[in-house]
Structure 1
Amino acid sequence: ETDGDPNAANFNVQNIQMPGGMTVNRLDDRAALAKGFDKLRRDVDASGVLDSMDRFDRQAMNLVTGPAARRAFDIGLEDPRLRDRYGRHNWGQSTLLARRLVEAGSTFVTVHFGGWDHHWDLKAGMERYLPIVDAAVSSLLEDLTQRGLYDDVLVMLCGEFSRTPRMNNGGNGGPPLSMGTPGRDHWGNAMFCLLGGGGVKGGRIVGSTNRLGEVPQDRPITPADIHHTMFQVLGVDPHVNFLNHSGRPIPALEPGAVIQELF
């Protein structure tokens, strides 16, 4: 997590630079000491796990001592006009920062848009949030296209659940004055997920709900199908297993299938 607002003038990401008083030589000494402590475990390790840890250690060192990470997070290097298009707020600048991280080599970036829990006063909430998300996401897709990254980067806009098809009368968990300001509650039976880039062909709608948007009707899609599709774009085997601490294989994904209509 960046633990900050990219739209703030003093935006700074923690843990990608050395703390005060620390020098590169001192950091190298610490790394050499840690390597010495690991030598015994390394001699008896036959799984190759420690070799993987070495790779991560090197990445961590490069993150702290090299300029690449700090440059990727320096959103002030962007054209002010492009920053305006994304939106001069946390969501817009976070989305722009995601593009910078992908361009710098990150393989997976998450941008969190919070605050959609409109159990009351839904109209005001949507009028505030929807234009912000529209501008940020559309600018990202256009930006990726102009930079030749669109076909290589999968953009997913999803939530963890949806909202009730029917409005309530407000006041559900809100202050007394929220009564009479209709909203919507939690609903897990039907929702949407927008995908673009990464080889996805635009303008396609897969699946449908009934007339009231309550339940899937034609071509139901499961979260596992979304995950299998994402893994295919990333080039990851969807049937891979991970071993837990007892050596038991745990599937990375639940059973599902790639959404072929998107490609």
Structure 2
Amino acid sequence: MSIHTQLEDLSNEIFFEIFDYLHMFDIFTGFSLLNRRISSILQSIPLHIVITNEYYRRHIDFLSSHLTFHEHQVISINISDIIRDDSYIIRLLFNRHNFPNLKSCKLLSIDSMTKLGDIIKQIESFNRLVILEIFQPDHQDLNENNNDELTQIILTHKSSFLRSVDLQYPYHYLDLSNYRCIPSNLTSLNIRIAGSPSNVSVHSVIRVFRLCHQIKYLCIVLYNEKRFKNDNTKYISNYLSSVIENDLPILS
């Protein structure tokens, strides 16, 4: 006599393991309202939100309806700001919901009208955030956002948990002169410094080194962009002077 194992026969521990491999949309599409036991498990699992450019607005509204009762369980967010039939998705979710236990936040393909500065200020209140990443494809500008101001808000984030920052969008390094230092809790930094050939050089890197007192993993990409041509040229002379050996930054 054969014995068949049904889904309901699995232990809670196995369900926890299965759900850890699934995104929030898949979990609530396949398991919500299945039975009382599963509903109870869904109340206590960590959730991962992944929204790609293949999504439609109906998918976002479905997620949002469940977030009303589960937003405190979200520990990671990976959001594309532009989907098949809509945009401003980042702003929509952060305006509708709070994520008090968020640990990882990745923002992708930012729409030109999305005010990231306001969103980053909101993210500053997330005292459990460990990883913050912003990716803009093909190095497109954030247009309506002031890149320098946005970068300053991020790099002076006071969260004691924040450890890794990855900023993949054009950034004008001259604004770094306004910083005192990058918070000592930050151990990993990946940035792109953009500008004209006359002001993006090894001196740009030295300026970053002076602020990174505790950084263990540092990646800096320099590239030239025509849009920065002659921009802030009057401020360049101090940074392009010859290197003074005794004045070089010392890294731990």
- TM-score for both structures, normalised by structure 2: 0.32
- TM-score for both structures, normalised by structure 1: 0.31
Structure with higher RCO (Cα < 8 A, 6+ apart): 1
Between Structure 1 and Structure 2, the one with more helix by share is 1
Between Structure 1 and Structure 2, the one with more strand by share is 2
